[in-house]
Amino acid sequence: MTTDQAKPRNQSSSLRRALAVLDHVRDHADARGVSLTRIADDLGISKSTVLRLAQPLIDGDLLTRDRETGWFRLGHGALRLGQAYLSTLDMRSVAADPLRRLQHLVGETCHLVVYEAPDVVYIDKVENEHNVRMASRVGLRMPAYRTAVGKAVLAWLGEDDFQTVVAAGMPARTERTITDPARLAAELERVRLSGYAVDDRENEPEVRCVAAPIFDHTDRAVGALSVSGLTSRMTPARVREVGPMVERAGLEISRVLGSSRPSRRRPDRPRDDTSRHDPHEGNQP
């Protein structure tokens, strides 16, 4: 191999190691930064190598080094890169491929919504392969309290958002619609525990939906995606199968939007979302 042939490979190796230094600072720096010694020890390289790799990053404002302590922090150039990245993101575009993969995987209608208190707004829909189609359409608004997508978002928002939804009214759409704020609060706690929400005939009499939240770069729930189907196909057992799939798709979209939320550890025994004690018992339609 000639010197000219080897040079690009060496440059590529140096670039990868420099990016490893940048990633380490991103993941481990606190308010003071992270020390040269820790970077070298954690990455298994010498301090002189860390300094050599870090210098172009400092020159490009991706890293900064404290003159007194010598510790490293992210530079303002990293913020500019992040802002430039976020400015190009559109949830519908980001979610398009995951939504279509999910639809092919489960064979039911999949929806994408954004949250506009106290409602959710449908911004994309991938139809099922069956003759019976869902009544939803892109642009449709629906109250958050009675939909799986709405509950998936509300479960991760604060008390003010919850009260906004309650104040807007919670009339019954079907005999299974949750109309009591306390019961809705209990339902949202179950959503947080399972990682996904279920609309068990609460919005349409013969339809079950399973939904999971989508988080933005601030880790705020800003939307959701769902799988919807007739109860004859979306049985309780099928809900338990589909729920984790929807949750994973939501996390995939969230990561592209800049969220740092980790995947949840799933309980040893899955929860039966539709055969549990009925949270709607006692509701008045």
Per residue in 132-188, pLDDT (tens digit) is 556 667 888 999 999 999 999 999 999 999 999 999 999 999 999 999 999 999 999
Question: In this model, does residue 93 exceed pLDDT 80?
Answer: yes
Q: Distance between CA atoms of 91 and 77, rounded to whole angstroms?
A: 25
Most confident of 71-85, 174-188, 266-280: 174-188
The model's pTM:
0.69
Question: In this model, does residue 233 exceed pLDDT 70?
Answer: yes
Q: What digits encode the pLDDT tens for the residues 219-230?
A: 999 999 999 999
Which residues constitute the domain of residue 39?
Answer: 13-85
**What integer best gives the mean pLDDT of the chain?**
86
User: What amino acid occupies position 189?
Assistant: E
pLDDT of residue 201: 96
Question: Which H/E stretch holds residue 143?
Answer: strand 141-143
3, part of any domain: no
Q: 27 or 82, which is more confident?
A: 27
- Same domain as 165, residue 140: yes
pLDDT of residue 79: 82
- Same domain as 78, residue 140: no
Token digits of residue 166 = 């309650």
Token digits of residue 221 = 């729930």
CATH number, domain at 47?
1.10.10.10
Asked if residues 51 and 60 have their Cβ atoms less than 8 Å apart, the reply is no
pLDDT of residue 114: 93
Q: How many domains does the chain have?
A: 2
User: What amino acid occupies position 128?
Assistant: N
281, part of any domain: no
